[in-house]
Each structure stands twice: as structure tokens, then as C-alpha cells.
Structure 1
Amino acid sequence: MSDDNKDTGSEEPREGGGTPERVVGTPSPAKGKALLPGEDEHSAPAGAGEELDEASAKRAERIVATFFLLAFAGSVAFIAYYIGWSGRNGGMHGIHRARESNLWLGGMMALSFLALAVGVTIWVRRLMTSRPIVQDRHEMRVDDATRESFAQDFMEGATDSGITKRPLLRRTLLLAAAPLGLAPLVLLRDLGPLPEKRLRHTFWGEAVKKAQSQGKKGVRLVVDGTNRPLRVSDFSSPGAMITVLPEGIEHDVPEEKVLTQTAKAVTILINVPAEQFKPAKGRENWHINGIVAYSKICTHVGCPAALYEQTTHHILCPCHQSTFDATDAAKVVFGPAARPLPQLPLAVEDGYIVATSDYHEPIGPSFWERG
């Protein structure tokens, strides 16, 4: 093939009389031809602008309305299960109810969206004509003529869709969409109620009051997992850390609230060398020769502050690296936490470590204090 042929876009016949080879850059030989037999580039698709058979349209209308009603029923079932049935046996968020609630909630919402989508699809395919719509391009400005043209096109589209002509479809569509609009509001329940004043008190306070009513100084600390009361002699090695709970929490709290109360009351007990311990003002008697107790719930977002560096005496939260100084009232030395870990007052009774009161400040994230 010569350079002249490339420049002019000509075609050179193949040897043996075959079909000429198309040169790159030349116009397509199919230009100006219709994709379907009997059509040219300006022709409308088959059936364009044809009036719908009213009997078939009525059947399609009833089918679409049925799917819209099915979507409505699915949405109502979703809301009803979420508000009503899921509240049985401890609520939908219990460990044993999670699978059931996910199955029902997911299935009802999927049914609602699927029925709505099928109904709209049948509406478009069976009840809307295929009349081509030509839209002229104008300058990017809005004037009276443009507004009038838009209004006219909008009304023509509404008329063509049949939404003004077929009130059954319009009403069932609105009926199906209404619960879907309410569903996100219902799901806000997952955020849970604000804790208000509930985080200002833990089971430590109730346990201490019960023990003091029996003539005791306070409630004994038990080791988390074994529920064994902790003696001072059992925790005499500096640098040690252990998780403790108030004695009796597994017996004095209703079964459905044990996990919640345990999560709030969980406490870390640390043995800091007495010569390095710097008690806060007014808390000089809250420790036992350097044995001090702090809430295990980080004051940033509530993760467990469960790591302890024996060399630096720093308590670390692994979630966002908030760091607290165990020797100095658990003050923040690094990270996003806004305030120290709450401290639990301690004393000794009959050789056992006891708590003499509840925490004197709210546990957990600082923003709850504004609730």
C-alpha cells in the first residue's frame, strides 16, 4: 500500500480479487446506514407513537399495582417486626436473636425494594409508549420561553407515562413509597437512647451501699473470670495489673442486664511502686501503698484501656493510642482522650481489697457528660 493511498483514505484491492482492505482513518462504510432492516438514521423505532391497547394496558396496570401493594406490605412488615416483634425476649440485638432479626429485616426490605423495582419496570415496558423525544440544545440560560418549554415537556412526559391518566398506579406507587421514606427514621433506633445520667453510676455504688448496710467498710474486689476475692497479699508485686469487678455482680443483677452492668463496672487494678505514686489532691487515701484502681473504659470512645507498660507505668488504649499515667491519677499523656480515667476509692478490710464508693465522675467517653 502506497503513502498516497494512506493520505487520501483510498482502499486497495487485495490480491485475488478479495474485499478491499479499509485503511485506518477512513470513514466507516456503514455510515448513514440503519442498524436494523428497513430503518434509516432518521426513522423512528418500530411502534413509536402507537396507542396502547387499552385492555392490555389495564392488565398491566393491575399487575403493576399488585407489585406496589406487595412493596407496601413488605415495608410495613419491616417496620412492624422492628418495633414490635423484635422487642420480645430481650430485644433484637441479643446474641441469640441476631440471626433471626437479620433474616426477617433483610428479607422484608429486599422484598419491598424488589417488588417496587419490578412494578416500575413493568410500568415502563408495558404502559409507556416508545415515541421518540427530541430536545433542542439552547444556550445555558433560563428565560420565560425555556420555562414554558420545560413545563410543556414535563406535562407531555407525565401524560405519556400514564401517571395522570391512571390514578390506580399513582396511588399505589405513593402507598408503596411512603413506608420506605419512614424506614430510615425507624432505623435511627439502632443508635440507641442517650445514656443521660446512667453512666454517672455503676454497680460499684449499689454493691458498696449493700455492703455498708451490712456493717462492712465496702464491697470486695473479685478477679474477673474467677470471681475470687482479692487480698492485698495476692497483689503485692509492683508492676502487676489485673481486671476486677465488684463482688456479687453475677448474683445481684438480673440476667439480661449482667453484660451491661459488667461492661460499665469493669476496672483495672494496678500496683504502682509507692515511691513513684503521686495521688491527686483529695485522693490521698484512695490507694493502698500504690495499689490503685481505674476504670477500664477509655474516656475517648469507650474502648478497653487494657494495656500496661510496667517500665513507664502508662496505661494504653489500643484503639486510638490514648495513654494515661497510672502514677499520676491516670492523667492523659498522649492521644485523643480528653480527661483522665475515673479512679475508684480503695481500702483494706480483713486483708481484702474493697471499694468504698462508686466512681465520683462519669465513666466512658467524655461527650456523654454533655448528654
Structure 2
Amino acid sequence: MTDIDTSQSGAVSDGNPGTPGTDLARHDGALPDRFENPGLPAHVHRAADDDPAAAKRAEKQVATLFGLSMLATLVFLVGYFAIRDEATFYLPGVGLAKTQNVVLGLSLGFALFFIGIGAVHWAKTLMSDEEIVEERHPQRSDDRARSAAVTTVLDGGTNAQLGRRPLILYSLGGAMGLFALPFVLQIAGSLGPVDGPEELKHTIWDLENNDGKPIRLMRDPEMTPIKLDEVTNGSVFHVMPETLQKYIDENHGVLEAKAKAAVILIRLDPNDIKVAKARDWGVDGVVAYSKICTHVGCAVGLYEQGTHHLLCPCHQSTFDLTEDCKVIFGPARRPLPQLKIQVDDAGYLVAPEGFHEPVGPSFWERKR
């Protein structure tokens, strides 16, 4: 252990005999000079700084990288329109993958990658790399300093050689401009069905997926049928249609429909149900509703038996089961759609028809 001996003069000893103390404070308030300023290392010139031919090669390399970004973006745009949504292929280590998703993801990633690499190469080879040291100053600069900052920014454009390197300027503009198109395309063309709410009414619960016959309600994920006498008061079942696997097989592994078809099945005391339609569409207090929140589509799976409320865990939208899943709290603006159910001759719960209203978020209700 090292002993520290502090005297009134402010000297500190490191405990070694004969070692003078180091002044941590002086009477005049000045700090001691402990280290010499090492200064900046000698500036190393790059090939492009002294050789116009090297600078031209670097310019072409940067433009090539931006050109590759544009090419990747064009692949994204072509893939978006040309690849069928149902197309799939086997991806080692992943399994069955949608061709369009893979192509769009890789092309968009490469488009951004080449823009970034091009910008880095541009900065490393052509932009000014003179070392600058600036002393600390008060946070709020005076007007003269602010004006100088504006001048520095403008000088930065000059140092980047935008005026001298039009090939880089145009290729960067093309890469950045094209890179924005995939986002515009997705916003304009992919946020919701083209045909509006009518398309959202159609789910796997439609009887056409079962040759017009009622569809059994199946436990999810066990996919076993549910008898009426198995649903006790207050119990909750997460339900899928019996035709789920058949639909997926016939539509080349499309799983989006599974999300639309998710249903929650709950049994209440029939006397607690206040809406006649909700009571008539159920069986002895057993009711079935879409699990997809009408706000932004999260899964509504939290049930409070004491209050008969269904809660969405994402944004706390709350639905009252006794009033046909009326919204009583939160950002949702539309009740959960009810699925009409009956009991077949074997005692199993079945859906004699599909949803009568769109499931999921209600963005289509907004004025266009």
C-alpha cells in the first residue's frame, strides 16, 4: 500500500524517500505544465493529392460504386413488379422463403451498401484530409464565428471537389434519387389492399375454402377440433380454421392469410351479453371474435374475466365483450369483427359463414 503524505503547501509525496512532491495546486492558481504538446503528425499526401491521373481513377471508382447502387435499386424496382407474390424457393439454413422478399431485401441492402462505400472511398481519396485543431470556446458562438461556420460549410463543398468532379456529383445524385424510389413505391403501393375493405372481408373462414360446408374451429397450434362442452365459463381458446393447412398447401405456402384468420373464442354467461346480435351469433354464451386489433393489427389476446374486457398489449385498446367488442378505451376506433358460430351434429363448434366485415386495422376508413 502506498502512503500519501499531504503537507499544507499542497505537495503530495508518493511515499518514496527523496522523491519531491508534485504540486497539484499553486498559490497563483496556475496549473503545472506536465506534458509538452506533441503537435500533429506530419501530413501524408495521398496519391490523388499529387497525381491527377490517380485522382481521375479515384473519381471513376467512386462513380462506379454509385452506379452499382443505382443498378441494385433498379433490380429492386423490377423485382417488385416482375416477381409473383406467391413465388418461393428453398433457402439453405432458413427453409422456404418468398422469392420477392429475398430479392427486394438483398437489392435494397446492396443499394445502400454501395452508396455508403462510395461515400467512404470519396472521402478517403479525394476530399481534403488536412488535420485541423480547434481550441475549446464558449458554446454560444458570436455572430462573427457563426458567419465563419457558414463559410466553412461552403468551403467544405469546395474541398469535396463537387465543382471539379461532376461525374461524382451526378452519379451520387442518381444513386440517392433512385434509392428513394423503393420507399416511395412501398408507401404508395403497398400500404393496404387495392380494393379497399372488401378484400379484408375475405379470409380462410370463407366457405368457398371448404366446398361450401361449415368450417370447424380448431385449437391453435394443436389444430384439434373444439366441442361446445369443452369450453367452460371464462375459458379462452386461440382458434384457427380447419382449412388452414389445406389453404397454405394450395397457395404455395402463403402464411399471411393465417394472421387474418386468427380468432379468439371465449365463453361468458349469456345473461352478461348485452347486444342481441352478439348473443345470436354465439352458442350458449360462447362467442368468437377476430384477434386482430382494429388499430394497427396487433394480436388481441389478453382477457380480463372479471370485467369481460379484451386488451391489446401494443397500445392498450380495450374491447367490451358484453357489448359486441365495443371499443371502450385506447386508439382503436372500430369493434373487433365477430365470427358467427354454431354446433354441428357431432357437438363440434363450426363457422357457418365467414366474416361480414373487414378484419384488422381500419386505415381504409380514412378519406382518400
TM-score scaled by length of structure 2: 0.68
What displacement does 1:154 show?
Answer: 11
Give the 3-state SS of the residue equivalent to 1:292 in structure 2.
strand
1:330 match: 325
C-alpha spacing 1:287/1:157, structure 2 compared with 1 (3 Å): closer
**Structure 1 range deviating more: 349-358 or 77-86:** 77-86
Matched, 1:269 2:265: yes
What displacement does 1:270 show?
Answer: 0.8
Q: Deviations over 1:1-21 (max 9, x none)?
A: xxxxxxxxxxxxxxxxxxxxx
Q: Deviations over 1:148-195 (max 9, x none)?
A: xx99x999998887655x4xx212331233112221221345553422
1:304 match: 299
What displacement does 1:273 show?
Answer: 1.1
What displacement does 1:25 show?
Answer: 6.5
Cα distance in 2 for residues equivalent to 1:76 and 1:200: 40
**What are the ranges of 5 or more consecutive residues in structure 2 without an aligned counterpart?**
1-24, 133-141
Residue among 200, 207, 216 paired with 1:220: 216
The percent identity for this pair of structures is 33
Paired residue type of 2:239: V
Larger radius of gyration: 1
**Structure 1 range deviating more: 321-330 or 73-82:** 73-82
Cα distance in 2 for residues equivalent to 1:242 and 1:157: 64
Whether the 8 Å contact between 2:279 and 2:285 is mirrored in structure 1 is: no
Q: Deviations over 1:85-114 (max 9, x none)?
A: 685844999974778976664455233322
C-alpha spacing 1:290/1:58, structure 2 compared with 1 (3 Å): same
What displacement does 1:252 show?
Answer: 2.9
Whether the 8 Å contact between 1:70 and 1:112 is mirrored in structure 2 is: no
Paired residue type of 2:70: V
1:229 match: 225
1:194 match: 192
1:251 match: 246
Paired residue type of 2:286: I
TM-score scaled by length of structure 1: 0.67
2:275 match: 279
What displacement does 1:120 show?
Answer: 4.1
Cα distance in 1 for residues equivalent to 2:339 and 2:268: 15
Matched, 1:352 2:355: no
Report the number of matched residues.
Answer: 324
2:18 match: none
Whether the 8 Å contact between 1:362 and 1:369 is mirrored in structure 2 is: no
C-alpha spacing 1:275/1:334, structure 2 compared with 1 (3 Å): same
Whether the 8 Å contact between 1:63 and 1:119 is mirrored in structure 2 is: no
Cα distance in 2 for residues equivalent to 1:266 and 1:158: 55
C-alpha spacing 1:57/1:245, structure 2 compared with 1 (3 Å): same
Give the 3-state SS of the residue equivalent to 1:305 in structure 2.
coil
C-alpha spacing 1:356/1:103, structure 2 compared with 1 (3 Å): closer
Matched, 1:73 2:67: yes
Cα distance in 2 for residues equivalent to 1:139 and 1:55: 34
Residue among 112, 119, 122 paired with 2:125: 122
**Structure 1 range deviating more: 297-306 or 69-78:** 69-78
C-alpha spacing 1:115/1:360, structure 2 compared with 1 (3 Å): same
